[in-house]
A and B are shown apart, each in its own frame.
Chain A
């Protein structure tokens, strides 16, 4: 069958892509480049996880930094108290995810009662609660923060363990996104996005479905936060709970394609290194953030549903236009007309 061969070729492409990512730090050994790689893969994890909650369900969270920071602080505190060091710290990552997932339960039970703008505002409120708590509580070291253990790895390949941990996490998060997209659970999430009340009226248990998605999403986000804090070697409230983190995640998802599987990967792999590079180039560190803000505007205006879906539309419209030109009838291509068609297709 045609869909069968397509699945095989897609699978092959994924394997080649992951293999390329796996050899990347062996080819590009420069520490700056591998640092970009680690950051990008951490964002692949977070944006994929954010997307299989927010992108699928339509509940846009601007508070995922809560889970990211929780995972980060947990990792530092657990490594210190339980005497983990070196690559042993990586074993704490699933636990960091678990703690973030547990935090997500009360957050979800409160915030998921409301919808749309109100939900967004709620998630922002939770974010500030978390940041204020981290700044003021003793357990997080207050505003001066905490230091994770520093691994004594060889300087030449110091980044590699972080890189591979990030790669494993990224692959797992994308796999989770893919599995959810194909499952009945994912279908219910997307039904909730389209018409939550109708879905409930058809027997879908909307609250458990939404909450499960949020908790799973928080799990991956918490793991990513743990790894990030271990990598940068510092946990201070304003960076561990960073509002720009939330904006970056949303921007990457919108850029690549909200609700798609490949979109978040694309968004993270392009925008995170781009932002890092701008930050390096610009003497004034705010330059990159201003550029990011402008990019956000451009994307929302011209690619509201992301590079992948909108790109596909333009392709479809372009082909239709070419066909019409060949057959002699002139008319202007209208991407808006096909917009609804490309939207739900899975990638």
Chain B
């Protein structure tokens, strides 16, 4: 079952700079929520707070009914929130398949981290699932290659794949389409959409407007660390404050 990820009244300052002020955002269960805003508006900071990489100065983070404010990234992942990074972080000197086996398995109990030798049926099952997922994202042909040899786009697919293998309830994607060629962007959008149809919840930071507008059910717009609009893509697109702050006059052309 998937849960709703909610951040409520989050504020965060770095030195004297207010990165986020009283931000509230909901990634509703079973939906794809977009988070957009100009560079430096605080999107990644909000992601970092939601996934435990940074602590908020005030405000709370909830996954379903569970408060996860200030939990370590390790814990947050264990609770079922997976994420990718704007600058993709894979394990370059492990093979693609090995990368897939790094994430702790929620099914394997809390001690999935150490021990049990990696043998046996559970391990074989995990390998099969890893290969299935790699086939799903389209990089199964590289399973035995070192991850460091993958292209930028393939790394993005790998990061998405290994986040998915742990069956997170909510997946946070930080600029999945950034710096990726257009056909791969479409491929990614299709995959995300398909996973969403299977019930997976997504929260996506993205600059590619076409990507966001076509994919997301809800969009939240950040500007200077505050939420200036939340609504359907169409609502957000027509919101005057959003037009002023971010989209400028040339909307709709992507």
Check if A and B associate.
yes
Are B114's CB and A212's CB within 8 A? Answer: yes
State the majority secondary structure of interface residues on A: helix
* Most central of B85, B93, B119, B163 by chain A CB within 10 Å: B93
CB distance from B90 to the nearest CB of A (A): 8
Chain B residue nearest in CB terms to A338? B149
Residue interface bits B89-107, CB-to-A below 8 A is 1, else 0: 1111111001001111000
Q: Count the A residues whose beta carbon is within 8 Å of the partner chain — how many?
A: 29
Contact residues, B152-208 vs A (CB, 8 A): 162-163, 166
Contact residues, A206-241 vs B (CB, 8 A): 206, 208-209, 212
* Most central of A191, A193, A198, A202 by chain B CB within 10 Å: A202
**Could you say which of A24-32, A34-42, A128-136, A178-186 contacts chain B?**
A178-186
**Could you say which of A15-23, A168-176, A290-298, A339-347 contacts chain B?**
A339-347
Are B118's CB and A202's CB within 8 A? Answer: no
Bound complex: CA A149 to CA B120 (Å): 47
Bound complex: CA A206 to CA B115 (Å): 13
Are A203's CB and B77's CB within 8 A? Answer: yes
B59 at the interface (CB under 8 A from A): no
The residue from A208, A340, A343 contacting B113, defined by CB atoms under 8 A apart: A208
Residues of B within 8 A of A344 (CB): 93-95, 98, 146
Are B93's CB and A209's CB within 8 A? Answer: no
B64 at the interface (CB under 8 A from A): no
Chain B residue nearest in CB terms to A191? B102
Residues of A within 8 A of B149 (CB): 340-341
CB distance from A50 to the nearest CB of B (A): 19
Residues of B within 8 A of A179 (CB): 117
CB distance from B81 to the nearest CB of A (A): 10
Chain B residue nearest in CB terms to A342? B146
A81 at the interface (CB under 8 A from B): no
State the majority secondary structure of interface residues on B: loop
Bound complex: CA A237 to CA B53 (Å): 45
Bound complex: CA A99 to CA B113 (Å): 26
Are A187's CB and B118's CB within 8 A? Answer: yes
Bound complex: CA A195 to CA B99 (Å): 11
Residues of B within 8 A of A195 (CB): 89-91
Are A204's CB and B74's CB within 8 A? Answer: yes
Bound complex: CA A229 to CA B148 (Å): 44
CB distance from A136 to the nearest CB of B (A): 38
Indicate whether A202 sits within 8 Å of B93 (C-beta atoms), given known contacts A184-B118, A187-B98, A212-B114: no
B116 at the interface (CB under 8 A from A): yes
Are B113's CB and A194's CB within 8 A? Answer: no
Chain A residue nearest in CB terms to B159? A198
Indicate whether A202 sits within 8 Å of B166 (C-beta atoms), given known contacts A184-B123, A188-B113: yes
Are A188's CB and B114's CB within 8 A? Answer: yes
Residues of B within 8 A of A201 (CB): 51-53, 73-74, 77, 83
CB distance from B36 to the nearest CB of A (A): 24
CB distance from B94 to the nearest CB of A (A): 6
A114 at the interface (CB under 8 A from B): no
Are B166's CB and A203's CB within 8 A? Answer: yes
Bound complex: CA A203 to CA B168 (Å): 12
Residues of A within 8 A of B73 (CB): 197, 200-201
Bound complex: CA A194 to CA B162 (Å): 15
B78 at the interface (CB under 8 A from A): yes
Given contacts A190-B91, A202-B166, A203-B166, 7 further A-B contacts (CB under 8 A): A183-B119, A184-B123, A188-B102, A200-B73, A202-B102, A203-B78, A204-B103
**Chain A residues in the interface with B (C-beta under 8 A):** 179, 182-185, 187-188, 190-191, 193-195, 197-206, 208-209, 212, 340-341, 343-344
**Chain B residues in the interface with A (C-beta under 8 A):** 51-53, 72-74, 77-78, 83, 85, 89-95, 98, 101-104, 112-119, 123, 145-146, 148-149, 162-163, 166
